[in-house]
Structure 1
Amino acid sequence: MSTKIKTVDCPNCKKAVAWTEENSYRPFCSKRCKLIDFGGWASERNSIPGQPVYPAVEDEYDQ
């Protein structure tokens, strides 16, 4: 009985990646792709749509 290795596409470059314990960057293909994705979230280029968690606070300078 052979086990079939699951593959996924890297979210950044779309390269096929084996979903295994040996791939410490999964679902990414490399450290580079993982860091590019992290940079997108850190710079707020990536976001999840929805309502703000905290309402905007107006102070005397905003009026």
Structure 2
Amino acid sequence: MPADPKPVCPVCGRPTAPSARPFCSPRCRSVDLGRWLGGTYAIPGEPETEEENSAER
């Protein structure tokens, strides 16, 4: 049976670095954050209606 696979960076696929885990570097960590902030990544859910939007304000 093979040994446990080494974790890889979700951005570039290189082996992770303990100091930047789960990424390989601070650069890949920043790229991932930029993708979240830019809307590239999103958690699926029901779209909000105008009624729900105004009730929260």
TM-score grouping bracket, smaller chain normalisation: 0.5 to 0.7
**Residue 57 in structure 1 maps to residue 50 in structure 2:** yes
Q: Which amino acid is 2:40 matched to?
A: R
Q: Which has the higher helix share?
A: 2
RMSD: 2.3
Identity %: 41
Unaligned runs of 5+ residues in structure 1 are 59-63
Partner secondary structure for residue 8 of structure 1: coil
Which of structure 1's runs of 4+ aligned residues deviate more than 3 A? none
Unaligned runs of 5+ residues in structure 2 are 52-57
Larger radius of gyration: 1
Partner of 1:39: 34
Q: Which has the higher strand share?
A: 1
Partners of 2:4 and 2:44 in 1: CA distance? 33
Q: TM-score, normalised by structure 1?
A: 0.62
Partner of 2:54: none
Partners of 1:57 and 1:51 in 2: CA distance? 13
